[in-house]
Structure 1
Amino acid sequence: MQWRYHNSKSSEHLHRIRAQSGFSDLPMLEKIVLDFEMHYRLQAEFDMVVRGGMAALLHAGDPIQRISEDIDVLTAVPKPKIVSIIGRLKEDFGEVEIGIEGEPTRLPGHLIHCNIKCPSSVVKGTCSVKVDILCGVDQCMLSQAQTLKSARLGGMTLDHGISVLSRGALIADKMCTLTSAKTMGLRGPRNFPKQIFDIAMMLRGTDLDGVKTFLAAYPDFVSFMLRMHGIASTTRDLIDSTHDRCVSLFDFREGVLLSPEYQKFYTRFQARYVKNRRVHTEVHHVEEILLAILCARHLREHAVDGDLDGHSRGLHGAIRRYVRARDAGGSPTPDPGTLARIGEAHRNLASPGALLTPAQWMLLLEAFAPLLA
């Protein structure tokens, strides 16, 4: 097979990417390159839209802020046809092995876990990645895509044209992963850090139109995903569950901010996937969780009053104020009165001794404004 981005015989391109990106983990960088090599090959076979962490990295561009080792895509093509295409490609890919895992436990009629392996140029053995393909996707999601014609990532120019969910639609899609595990949400908090990191990264860089797209797309995405999962629930129920799951990640009562269980998941995520661990710490992740709770607040209020313009301006304005507060810095301080009032509804936040930075207090007041009114 003629390589476009990857080279299984030489690691020179990976060393160049490492020098330009600042990430030292060559095997992980090789996974990223193989991801886009396979995207280039598969895109020639069927139309697809990139979602997930890789879409977030493409929007953020250089410098890379975190690593994503797999790629998730959406397609309108039915699952049986995709299975047939992958079966045919097995004979065309030469040294690259491509295969399908067993039936997934969720969405077995729509989801394909595609495993790809090729000889590695940096370790003995193979480099392997996974492409998750969600088939039979409704136009309400696919219409939210945009094409990046010359995306740059880690010093690479990805010039084959990549269709990705727009920034606002990607935020909506990722917010869906934080809903109840009984519906479409992640089964446990192990992968919450990467979802919340990406949501915050997208929010900090979005404009007013992006925020409006997020608020408008979310109910459409939820409605379609509920139908696909065959679940009877309401948008309001899912928004409330997102709020509750995010709040449960905190525990201010023992002089810390993240719950002990979630702290372990965040530490693992930070160690494996985050580029600059000194710049992105628990302090920043607390802000990111509060941003997700703030999004849930505006989603809930928008579902009630339908004021898209008003909530778009309100959420966008709060994000801009937060960014300014974060850039200004400041020492952590207590505010026992505020936490006592919030603690009436959320006991794990009731701590008179909790110290928060000015940026964290600003987000807390915005996110829990209905409780403090």
Structure 2
Amino acid sequence: MGTRQNTALARALAEVPGPLPTSGVIHIAIPHTDRFTIVGNHLAQHPDLSCTAVGIAVRIQSLPQGIEVGIKALAARCREGEKRIAAALRELEAFGYLQRVRDRLPSGRFITRTVFCNQPTALVHPRRPAAPQHPAAPAPHPAPAQAPTSAPAPAQAPAQVPMPAPATATAPAPAPAPPPEPDTSAPPPVPPPPLLSAHPGPLFVPLVPPPTAPKPPPAPLPRPNEPTPELDRAATALLSDLRRHAPQFTLSETDIRHLVPGVAAWLERAAHPDAIRRILTTDLPHPLRHPAKLLKHRLTALLPPPLPGAHDLTAPARPRIAVTPFQTCDDCDRVFRSPTPGHCRDCREHRAHRSEATRTAA
């Protein structure tokens, strides 16, 4: 038995017009009658979009309106994971195919709408309507209609060319030439409307910058506030010892000398060497191509804050309120507030009144 032949495929190849190519793809185009989606080549052959992003865009474009197209909803429909789908959505958002817009409902509640545009360039540069230009186009045509009326004038000109002398006698003949200039039969040219001459601005601004946008400069490597030989020696020893715990971090002397200030800044902030070693050597990417760059990034991005002082950890002292103590009156045993023991107010007034009466009697 030989190789099985697909007769349907052979028949379809026979109907392909023209000679078949010797290499490359051969298209068998069968017209769709239902369940199809039109996809532009600007999306299918986009030079900067990944194949995952193109596939996600086609999947979203084929779905009806109102279907949820979030990361988790697409992950439930596709075989790709949530990370790849999220990266693809960011690519589509960067090139304008996907847009997330905050909208306010009549009730006052804000919602986020996901808008997918199958041709984002048409939004940025919409087509100019040609309708206003059609009425103005027929206006110049009546002017040529009068040209045949003046056509006999050129026909008579050759008859007068061979007579140079009568040119002075026929000088009044050019007088009729000026009347065609103030002819008002043809309307003046209509200037184009200003809306068509000016380019409309973009209808939206991408939330994610395009890949070609300039990247901000990297943060500098941290340095200790007060560098000391002890910090420099400890940081050098820690970096040189990393290869014992992770062979990927076999650093050169130049890399160690460059990274020493960053480790010294960690040690100055009371970070334990074991904690620094664990942060720098765990959860490594595979493969690790630039160990020195990874160490610089982690030393810069994960720098801990300095330890707070003892005065920062204590609770702020509350202001003391002076409380006047209770005292007992020596005469009537009444309780009253006074900084010193003695008599209450009534007893003091009674004593003052009695002493004044005695002084008056004397």
Structure with greater proportional strand content? 1
Larger Rg: 2
Per the normalisation by structure 2, the TM-score is: 0.23
Per the normalisation by structure 1, the TM-score is: 0.22
Structure with greater proportional helix content? 1
